[in-house]
Amino acid sequence: MTVPMRCAGKLGRRAIGVVVGLQVDPDWWSSGVWNGRPIGEFLRRRDVTAIFRFLHARGVSYGRIAGLVDISANRAAEIAKGVRQVTAYEVLERIAVGLSIPRPAMGLGRDEDTPATWGPDLVAAGGGAGLPPAGAGAGVEVSGLARLRLGLDEALASASVAPRQLELVEESVGEHMRVYPSASPQVMLSLLVADCREVQALSLRRQPAAVQSRLSGVAALLATMCADALMRLGDVAEARRWYGTAIHAADDSGQAPLRVLVRAQAAMLPYYFGNPGQTVALAEAGLAVTSTASSAGALAAAGRARALARLGAIEQARSAIDQARRMFDQAGDGDTDVAFRFPAKRLLFYLSGAHTWLGDTGEAYRVQDEAFRLYGVAPTVPIDVALIALDRSLCLVRDRRATEAAVTARDAVADLPETQRTEIILTRATDVVSAIPEGNRRSEVAALTDYVRACRERARSLGTTAVPGP
């Protein structure tokens, strides 16, 4: 027997009520109040979370609600908690039908427009109603196919991340990026752990594309901060793994500027603790992601220039410096101390290294003086200033001013807060000692060597450094 289409909605509601053993009073939807406001307001907004909570407050379990609208009890509970959202039109229709909500109350059209929706229990109760007419679908059960489509719609439209929940995670990451430049690596790692765990938990479940893109973007930034902190501590092997995770997450986000940024940041690791040739390769990989000018692209170009200079590729390095300046002029950031941004002072920081390795000490001094001016007398990012001062020490060595170089390097380390005297700084100070010829190593050089050794021992006792990996 075929059930006429116009009767299907009302019959469906009665039959489902019988199967589940529960009748939802339709009067609730016209006279009910939730949180001091008419439930009708929540219906008009299609606020399914409020609808489920409203029913639960009247003694309807989430398991019963789930049975009425043909979803799992776990999903019903998640919707009620605001963890999942429901936006798919046909899922909203199913909720209206199953809970006896007048369709017009939810802006879903007229009640008589309700399509036939048959679950397996309803088919059994109706004595075969809902089966396809003879010859239809070549043996495929149409009602089963409809259920499959509805389930797919729900899977595509329902997220396990509430919009506000995702906004809070993004706000937290933004705050981390604000404090990161001035905080010690150990403190930052302890702060980042909680957000990393939350994003991991949220990412384990399939999300709509737009939500997943944002989650992956957040994961990329968190992983990059973890990697950078580990690099500062000298834990090279673990930093390398975290940069790999950051690149994976950035690629998954589909956000081109972020993909460039993460590669440009990852390029720092081999520059400080490895082969600068790998820095060039990573920076070039970042630049190849997109032709659109961005501050991240300027960062990648500047990192490439500095590494080429360290490799002794003089002409390529000079060309790369020009490229970095052009890209910065097109898309560089304004003055800021937020992590991973690229203002003028950070461009000068990178160019300081490039001119130092090229042996252009006059230009290096000029760039360094301008950078010191922009960072200010009380810099928010003290590690950048210390590294620029260590570049200056290498310039002084090249200009045969070994004593001044040793004093400048010692002051660069001593001016840092104790928790910032990490392996990345101490390694660069050791580079200054190594660059000074044996015959010029006077008492100031010995004092620098002893001071760096003492800082390393103190850092290990404080747990603020790590033994460099391979």
pLDDT band at 12 (very low <50, low <70, confident <90, very high): very low
User: Looking at the predicted structure, is the pLDDT value of residue 11 above 50?
Assistant: no
In a domain, 33, yes or no: yes
What mean pLDDT is reported for the chain? 83
Q: Is the model's pTM score more than 0.75?
A: no
Q: Which residue has tokens 């992601």?
A: 289
pLDDT above 70 covers what percent of the chain?
Answer: 82
What span, in angstroms and rounded, lies between the C-alpha atoms of 224 and 245? 8
pLDDT band at 200 (very low <50, low <70, confident <90, very high): confident
User: Looking at the predicted structure, is the pLDDT value of residue 22 above 60?
Assistant: no
Please tell me the predicted confidence (pLDDT) of residue 129: 36
In a domain, 431, yes or no: no
CB atoms within 10 A of CB 138: 6
User: Looking at the predicted structure, is the pLDDT value of residue 154 above 60?
Assistant: no
Give residue 69's region: left, alpha or beta (phi > 0; psi -120 to 50). Answer: alpha
In a domain, 188, yes or no: no
Please tell me the predicted confidence (pLDDT) of residue 93: 84
Q: Which of 325, 317, 253 is nearest to 289 (CA)?
A: 253
Are the CB atoms for 95 and 65 separated by under 8 Å?
Answer: no
In a domain, 63, yes or no: yes
Are the CB atoms for 394 and 435 separated by under 8 Å?
Answer: yes
Q: Distance of CA 204 to CAs 152, 154, 172, 314, Å?
A: 19, 18, 20, 48
What span, in angstroms and rounded, lies between the C-alpha atoms of 283 and 305? 9
In a domain, 130, yes or no: yes
Please give the single-letter amino acid code of residue 383: I
DSSP 441: -
- pLDDT tens sequence across 282-336: 999 999 998 899 999 999 999 999 999 999 999 999 999 999 999 999 999 999 9
In a domain, 351, yes or no: no
- pLDDT tens sequence across 240-269: 999 999 999 999 999 999 999 999 999 999
| Structure token digits, residue 77 | 């509970």
Report the number of distinct structural domains present in the chain: 1
Please tell me the predicted confidence (pLDDT) of residue 156: 53
In a domain, 457, yes or no: no
| Structure token digits, residue 6 | 């116009």
| Chain centre distance of CA 114 | 42
Please give the single-letter amino acid code of residue 452: V
- pLDDT tens sequence across 57-98: 888 888 888 888 888 887 888 888 887 878 777 788 889 888
| Chain centre distance of CA 309 | 32
Using a 10 angstrom Cβ sphere, with 0-12 exposed, 13-18 middle and 19 or more buried, the burial of residue 110 is: exposed
Task: Give the dihedral sign, CA 406/407/408/414.
Answer: positive
Q: Which domain holds residue 18?
A: 5-157
Helix (H), strand (E), coil (C) string for 272-325: HHCCHHHHHHHHHHHHCCCCCCCHHHHHHHHHHHHHHHHHCCHHHHHHHHHHHH
Give, to the nearest 10 degrees, the angle between helix 89-98 and helix 5-20: 60
Beta bridge partners of 159: 85
pLDDT band at 119 (very low <50, low <70, confident <90, very high): very low
What average pLDDT does range 179-183 have in this prediction?
91
Q: Which residue has tokens 């229990």?
A: 121
In a domain, 444, yes or no: no
Please give the single-letter amino acid code of residue 148: L
Give, to the nearest 10 degrees, the angle between helix 209-233 and helix 423-435: 50
